[in-house]
Protein backbone atom coordinates (compact mmCIF):
# COMPACT_ATOMS: atom_id res chain seq x y z
CA UNK A 1 0.00 0.00 0.00
CA UNK A 2 1.30 3.44 -0.87
CA UNK A 3 1.11 5.67 2.17
CA UNK A 4 0.29 9.35 2.21
CA UNK A 5 2.61 12.05 3.53
CA UNK A 6 1.71 15.65 4.35
CA UNK A 7 4.80 17.75 5.14
CA UNK A 8 4.79 20.82 7.36
CA UNK A 9 7.88 22.97 7.88
CA UNK A 10 8.52 26.38 9.36
CA UNK A 11 10.25 28.25 12.19
CA UNK A 12 9.63 27.77 15.91
CA UNK A 13 6.37 29.32 17.04
CA UNK A 14 4.70 29.35 13.62
CA UNK A 15 2.00 27.00 14.89
CA UNK A 16 3.28 23.80 13.27
CA UNK A 17 2.73 21.41 16.18
CA UNK A 18 -0.80 22.47 17.02
CA UNK A 19 -1.81 22.56 13.38
CA UNK A 20 -0.14 19.24 12.51
CA UNK A 21 -1.73 17.50 15.49
CA UNK A 22 -5.19 18.77 14.66
CA UNK A 23 -4.81 18.07 10.95
CA UNK A 24 -3.67 14.50 11.63
CA UNK A 25 -6.70 13.93 13.83
CA UNK A 26 -9.07 15.21 11.16
CA UNK A 27 -7.43 13.17 8.39
CA UNK A 28 -7.06 10.11 10.66
CA UNK A 29 -3.33 10.14 9.89
CA UNK A 30 -0.53 9.72 12.40
CA UNK A 31 1.27 12.85 13.56
CA UNK A 32 5.05 12.67 13.47
CA UNK A 33 6.90 15.34 15.45
CA UNK A 34 10.48 15.13 14.17
CA UNK A 35 11.71 17.86 16.54
CA UNK A 36 10.75 15.54 19.42
CA UNK A 37 13.15 12.92 18.03
CA UNK A 38 16.08 15.36 18.07
CA UNK A 39 15.01 16.47 21.54
CA UNK A 40 14.89 12.89 22.87
CA UNK A 41 18.41 12.18 21.62
CA UNK A 42 19.62 15.46 23.15
CA UNK A 43 18.13 14.48 26.51
CA UNK A 44 19.89 11.14 26.43
CA UNK A 45 23.21 12.74 25.45
CA UNK A 46 22.93 15.31 28.27
CA UNK A 47 22.15 12.59 30.79
CA UNK A 48 25.17 10.59 29.67
CA UNK A 49 27.32 13.72 29.60
CA UNK A 50 28.27 13.12 25.99
CA UNK A 51 29.92 16.22 24.48
CA UNK A 52 27.41 17.58 22.00
CA UNK A 53 30.12 18.41 19.47
CA UNK A 54 31.25 14.76 19.31
CA UNK A 55 29.46 13.49 16.22
CA UNK A 56 30.88 10.00 16.45
CA UNK A 57 29.66 9.58 20.02
CA UNK A 58 26.23 10.98 19.14
CA UNK A 59 25.88 8.61 16.20
CA UNK A 60 26.83 5.63 18.29
CA UNK A 61 24.41 6.77 21.00
CA UNK A 62 21.61 7.12 18.44
CA UNK A 63 22.31 3.64 17.04
CA UNK A 64 21.82 2.34 20.54
CA UNK A 65 18.62 4.28 21.17
CA UNK A 66 14.99 3.47 20.68
CA UNK A 67 12.67 6.44 20.15
CA UNK A 68 8.96 5.79 19.85
CA UNK A 69 6.22 8.29 19.30
CA UNK A 70 2.86 7.10 20.53
CA UNK A 71 -0.47 8.81 19.96
CA UNK A 72 -2.79 8.78 22.94
CA UNK A 73 -6.56 8.50 22.63
CA UNK A 74 -6.97 12.23 23.37
CA UNK A 75 -4.66 13.04 20.43
CA UNK A 76 -1.68 13.88 22.64
CA UNK A 77 1.69 12.38 21.88
CA UNK A 78 3.96 10.48 24.19
CA UNK A 79 7.65 10.36 23.41
CA UNK A 80 9.18 7.12 24.62
CA UNK A 81 12.95 7.00 24.95
CA UNK A 82 14.23 3.47 25.57
CA UNK A 83 10.93 2.49 27.21
CA UNK A 84 10.77 5.62 29.39
CA UNK A 85 8.10 8.25 28.83
CA UNK A 86 10.09 11.49 28.47
CA UNK A 87 7.29 13.67 27.07
CA UNK A 88 7.63 16.60 29.54
CA UNK A 89 11.39 16.18 29.93
CA UNK A 90 12.20 16.94 26.29
CA UNK A 91 10.57 20.40 26.57
CA UNK A 92 12.77 21.72 29.36
CA UNK A 93 14.98 24.78 28.79
CA UNK A 94 18.08 22.67 29.06
CA UNK A 95 17.04 20.47 26.14
CA UNK A 96 15.70 23.41 24.10
CA UNK A 97 18.99 25.27 24.54
CA UNK A 98 21.09 22.29 23.46
CA UNK A 99 19.08 20.53 20.76
CA UNK A 100 20.48 22.60 17.89
CA UNK A 101 24.00 21.22 18.53
CA UNK A 102 22.66 17.72 17.99
CA UNK A 103 20.43 18.72 15.07
CA UNK A 104 23.29 20.23 13.12
CA UNK A 105 25.28 16.97 12.96
CA UNK A 106 25.01 15.62 9.36
CA UNK A 107 25.30 11.95 10.31
CA UNK A 108 22.70 12.28 13.06
CA UNK A 109 20.37 13.91 10.54
CA UNK A 110 20.89 11.12 8.01
CA UNK A 111 19.90 8.48 10.56
CA UNK A 112 16.94 10.50 11.82
CA UNK A 113 15.70 11.06 8.24
CA UNK A 114 15.96 7.30 7.64
CA UNK A 115 13.85 6.57 10.72
CA UNK A 116 11.29 9.16 9.63
CA UNK A 117 11.05 7.70 6.11
CA UNK A 118 10.64 4.22 7.53
CA UNK A 119 7.75 5.47 9.65
CA UNK A 120 6.22 7.15 6.61
CA UNK A 121 6.40 3.93 4.62
CA UNK A 122 4.17 2.18 7.17
CA UNK A 123 1.72 4.95 8.04
CA UNK A 124 -0.21 7.83 6.55
CA UNK A 125 1.43 10.76 8.28
CA UNK A 126 1.33 14.46 8.94
CA UNK A 127 4.98 15.15 9.60
CA UNK A 128 6.37 18.34 11.00
CA UNK A 129 9.92 19.74 11.18
CA UNK A 130 12.40 21.97 9.40
CA UNK A 131 13.62 19.84 6.47
CA UNK A 132 10.63 17.63 5.76
CA UNK A 133 9.62 19.02 2.37
CA UNK A 134 13.20 19.72 1.27
CA UNK A 135 15.12 16.63 2.43
CA UNK A 136 13.16 13.93 4.22
CA UNK A 137 10.07 13.66 2.02
CA UNK A 138 10.77 15.60 -1.19
CA UNK A 139 7.93 13.67 -2.86
CA UNK A 140 5.33 14.33 -0.17
CA UNK A 141 1.77 14.54 -1.46
CA UNK A 142 1.47 18.12 -0.18
CA UNK A 143 3.95 20.45 1.47
CA UNK A 144 3.22 23.46 3.63
CA UNK A 145 5.50 26.13 5.01
CA UNK A 146 3.98 27.82 8.05
CA UNK A 147 5.26 31.21 9.08
CA UNK A 148 4.24 34.08 11.35
CA UNK A 149 5.59 37.53 12.31
CA UNK A 150 8.41 37.36 14.82
CA UNK A 151 6.36 39.34 17.38
CA UNK A 152 3.46 36.94 17.09
CA UNK A 153 5.72 33.90 17.43
CA UNK A 154 7.20 35.39 20.61
CA UNK A 155 3.69 36.01 21.93
CA UNK A 156 2.66 32.40 21.27
CA UNK A 157 5.78 30.96 22.89
CA UNK A 158 5.27 33.20 25.91
CA UNK A 159 1.70 32.00 26.34
CA UNK A 160 2.77 28.38 25.98
CA UNK A 161 5.73 28.59 28.36
CA UNK A 162 3.92 30.71 30.96
CA UNK A 163 1.78 27.68 31.71
CA UNK A 164 4.87 25.65 32.58
CA UNK A 165 6.96 28.37 34.22
CA UNK A 166 5.23 31.39 35.81
CA UNK A 167 8.52 33.29 36.11
CA UNK A 168 9.37 33.19 32.45
CA UNK A 169 10.21 36.62 30.99
CA UNK A 170 9.35 37.78 27.51
CA UNK A 171 12.78 39.25 26.75
CA UNK A 172 14.37 35.86 27.32
CA UNK A 173 11.89 34.20 24.96
CA UNK A 174 12.63 36.86 22.35
CA UNK A 175 16.35 36.29 22.65
CA UNK A 176 16.03 32.48 22.56
CA UNK A 177 13.71 32.50 19.56
CA UNK A 178 16.01 34.84 17.61
CA UNK A 179 18.92 32.54 18.38
CA UNK A 180 16.97 29.44 17.32
CA UNK A 181 15.88 31.12 14.08
CA UNK A 182 19.48 31.97 13.26
CA UNK A 183 20.68 28.43 14.01
CA UNK A 184 17.86 26.75 12.06
CA UNK A 185 18.29 29.04 9.06
CA UNK A 186 22.06 29.09 8.83
CA UNK A 187 23.20 25.57 9.61
CA UNK A 188 25.11 23.90 6.79
CA UNK A 189 23.06 20.71 6.59
CA UNK A 190 19.34 20.79 5.87
CA UNK A 191 18.70 24.38 7.02
CA UNK A 192 15.14 25.57 7.41
CA UNK A 193 14.02 26.52 3.93
CA UNK A 194 10.73 26.58 2.09
CA UNK A 195 10.62 23.82 -0.53
CA UNK A 196 9.92 25.32 -3.95
CA UNK A 197 6.66 23.40 -4.25
CA UNK A 198 5.50 24.09 -0.67
CA UNK A 199 2.46 26.25 -0.06
CA UNK A 200 3.36 29.27 2.09
CA UNK A 201 0.90 30.11 4.86
CA UNK A 202 1.28 33.20 7.02
CA UNK A 203 -0.53 32.26 10.23
CA UNK A 204 -0.02 35.61 12.04
CA UNK A 205 -3.68 36.61 11.91
CA UNK A 206 -5.24 33.18 11.60
CA UNK A 207 -6.67 30.83 14.20
CA UNK A 208 -5.51 27.21 14.32
CA UNK A 209 -8.86 26.14 12.92
CA UNK A 210 -8.52 28.52 9.97
CA UNK A 211 -5.04 27.24 9.15
CA UNK A 212 -6.21 23.62 9.36
CA UNK A 213 -9.17 24.36 7.11
CA UNK A 214 -6.92 26.11 4.55
CA UNK A 215 -4.66 23.07 4.52
CA UNK A 216 -7.53 20.63 4.14
CA UNK A 217 -8.87 22.65 1.21
CA UNK A 218 -5.47 22.43 -0.48
CA UNK A 219 -5.24 18.68 0.17
CA UNK A 220 -8.69 18.03 -1.22
CA UNK A 221 -7.79 20.25 -4.18
* Contact flag: residue 12 with ligand DC (CB under 6 A): yes
* Contact flag: residue 30 with ligand DC (CB under 6 A): no
Window of 35-43, 75-83, 137-145, 213-221 that interacts with ligand DC by CB under 6 A: 35-43
DSSP letter, residue 124: -
- SS3 track for 64-110: CCCEEEEECCCCCEEEEECCEECCCHHHCHHHHHHHHHHHCCHHHHH
Could you tell me the smallest distance in angstroms from the CB atom of residue 221 to ligand DC?
26
Window of 45-53, 68-76, 79-87, 97-105 that interacts with ligand DC by CB under 6 A: 97-105
> Are 128 and 32 a contacting pair, CB within 8 Å?
yes
Q: Is 194 exposed, middle or buried (0-12, 13-18, 19+ CB in 10 A)?
A: middle
Q: Which is nearer to ligand DC, 34 or 203 (CB)?
A: 34
* Contact flag: residue 39 with ligand DC (CB under 6 A): yes
Window of 33-41, 58-66, 139-147, 171-179 that interacts with ligand DC by CB under 6 A: 33-41
How many residues line the site for ligand DC (CB under 6 A)?
14
* Contact flag: residue 103 with ligand DC (CB under 6 A): yes
* Contact flag: residue 147 with ligand DC (CB under 6 A): no
Q: Which is nearer to ligand DC, 163 or 217 (CB)?
A: 163
Q: Is 202 exposed, middle or buried (0-12, 13-18, 19+ CB in 10 A)?
A: middle
Give every CB contact of residue 98 below 8 A, 6+ residues apart in sequence.
42, 46, 52
* Contact flag: residue 191 with ligand DC (CB under 6 A): no
* Contact flag: residue 99 with ligand DC (CB under 6 A): yes
* Rounded CA Rg of the chain: 17
Among 22, 34, 147, 215, binds ligand DC (CB under 6 A): 34
Q: How far apart are the C-alpha atoms of 37 and 180, rounded to whole Å? A: 17
Q: Which is nearer to ligand DC, 39 or 217 (CB)?
A: 39
> Are 143 and 198 a contacting pair, CB within 8 Å?
yes
Among 10, 15, 120, 129, binds ligand DC (CB under 6 A): 129
The strands making up 77-81's β-sheet, listed across from edge to edge, are: 67-71, 77-81, 84-85
* Contact flag: residue 180 with ligand DC (CB under 6 A): yes
Q: Which residues bind ligand DC (CB under 6 A)?
A: 12, 34-35, 38-39, 99-100, 103, 129-132, 180, 184
Amino acid sequence: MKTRVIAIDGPAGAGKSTVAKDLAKKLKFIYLDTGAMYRALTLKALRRRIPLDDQKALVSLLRDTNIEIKSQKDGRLSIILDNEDVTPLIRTNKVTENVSYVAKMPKVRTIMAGLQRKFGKKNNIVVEGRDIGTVVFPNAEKKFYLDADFKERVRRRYKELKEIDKNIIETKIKRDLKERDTKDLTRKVAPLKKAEDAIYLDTTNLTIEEVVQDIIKEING
